[in-house]
Homo-oligomer: A and B are copies of this chain.
Amino acid sequence: MCNQTVESPLMDKKEAPLKIAIVGFGNFGQFIAQGLKRQGHQVMATSRSDYTDYCKMNGFHFFRSMDAMCEEKPDIFLICSSILSTEKIVRTIPFHKLKPDTIFVDVLSVKQFPKNLFLEVLPPEFGIVCAHPMFGPESGKDGWAGLPFVYDRVRVFSDGPQALNCQRFLNIFENEGCRMVEMSCEEHDRHAAGSQFITHTIGRILSQLNLESTPINTKGYETLLKLTENTVSDSFDLYYGLFMYNVNATEQIDNLDRAFETVKQKLFGRLHDILRKQIVERVPLPVEVNAEHRRKKNSISAPSFLPNAEEMHIRDIASFAVPGEVIPNSKAQAQGIR
């Protein structure tokens, strides 16, 4: 049924195209399929939704049932489902219909979870490659050159066709210009928790703030607005998956929590130092006065101009700095900082 293959100039004429089956054919599955096709391979797919028309138009073959697709005996079985649904899907695959040298590949944003799932569930003769193309329809829309493709050859037998098929599969991404990064699943998840998960978390926090563009955006603020926009374009399910299925994520939430606490303590701690100086060392506190009111009275007192207590949510004193007071550790002027 799936023999209508497009000949690609990039493919070795002596080799038949790889037969690649994809389960989960949403945006990301379709995006990856386009690259497989560009490299001259034969793509078949199945998914919860019906993509028959899309597949006809794009030279793929869509199967309404997992069983029918498995009967085509693919060389590569590519899991493109969401993190949250992967386990359920993998457990429904009729492995006995596949040929024994099939290579399973996943493209999830976490890696230890699919590795352990595959090792547990797949027949022992099946090959396993855990991969994370660190790009998508947006960042990869103008080609994949220079974009990182992380992979771990978890289980690839050197006798038989597995090693060759695995290399041919990896060559697809290599030929597209990806930066190939071979890395263990454990190392990937450690790095990803400290980078990708933190980035998503900051984006999620900022999106809660409903940040708006102002007439006075700084460049740094513009990058935060852009980050927020990109984060929210992903589903919360993806973010939840990064948290739930990466053993390092909870630690990173804790780290972020502590970092925020430290910053707040530094800010409020210094405020407290100034207050204590006034209270304990009996530096005279100016009576609560309002600058506007004072000016009208033509007072000659020398008050300070810090935000008043009510505005600062602090009720026990009127202002914090006293004229002539030396603020500890203030090296700002020497550094030319405003």
Complex interface: chain B residues within 8 A of A257 (CB): 260, 264
Copies of this chain, count: 2
Tell me if B209 and A221 are in contact (CB < 8 A).
no
9 A-B pairs with the lowest CB-CB distances in the bound complex, closest first:
A26-B336, A82-B332, A27-B336, A208-B259, A237-B332, A191-B214, A247-B307, A195-B221, A247-B311
Q: Whole-angstrom distance between the alpha carbons of A175 and B293 in the complex?
A: 39
Q: Residues of A at under 8 Å CB distance from B?
A: 24-30, 47-49, 80-85, 87-88, 91, 107-109, 112-113, 116-117, 119-120, 132, 134, 139, 148, 150, 181, 183, 188, 191-192, 194-196, 198-206, 208-209, 211-212, 214-221, 223-224, 226-227, 230-231, 234-238, 240-241, 243-247, 250, 253, 255-260, 262-264, 266-267, 270-271, 291, 294-295, 302-307, 311-313, 320-321, 323-325, 327, 329-338
Tell me if B332 and A85 are in contact (CB < 8 A).
yes
Given A87-B305, A88-B323, A234-B337, the answer on whether A203 and B191 have CB atoms closer than 8 Å is: no
Complex interface: chain B residues within 8 A of A231 (CB): 220
Minimum CB–CB distance from A65 to chain B (whole Å) comes to 16
Q: Whole-angstrom distance between the alpha carbons of A113 and B320 in the complex?
A: 13
Given A120-B305, A203-B220, A218-B195, the answer on whether A336 and B30 have CB atoms closer than 8 Å is: yes
Tell me if A108 and B218 are in contact (CB < 8 A).
no
Tell me if A209 and B216 are in contact (CB < 8 A).
no
Q: Whole-angstrom distance between the alpha carbons of A262 and B203 in the complex?
A: 13
Complex interface: chain B residues within 8 A of A258 (CB): 208
Minimum CB–CB distance from A54 to chain B (whole Å) comes to 12
Q: Whole-angstrom distance between the alpha carbons of A203 and B259 in the complex?
A: 11
Minimum CB–CB distance from A148 to chain B (whole Å) comes to 5
Minimum CB–CB distance from A243 to chain B (whole Å) comes to 5
- Which single member of B80, B87, B201, B295 contacts A304 (CB below 8 Å)? B87
Tell me if B134 and A218 are in contact (CB < 8 A).
yes
Complex interface: chain B residues within 8 A of A29 (CB): 336
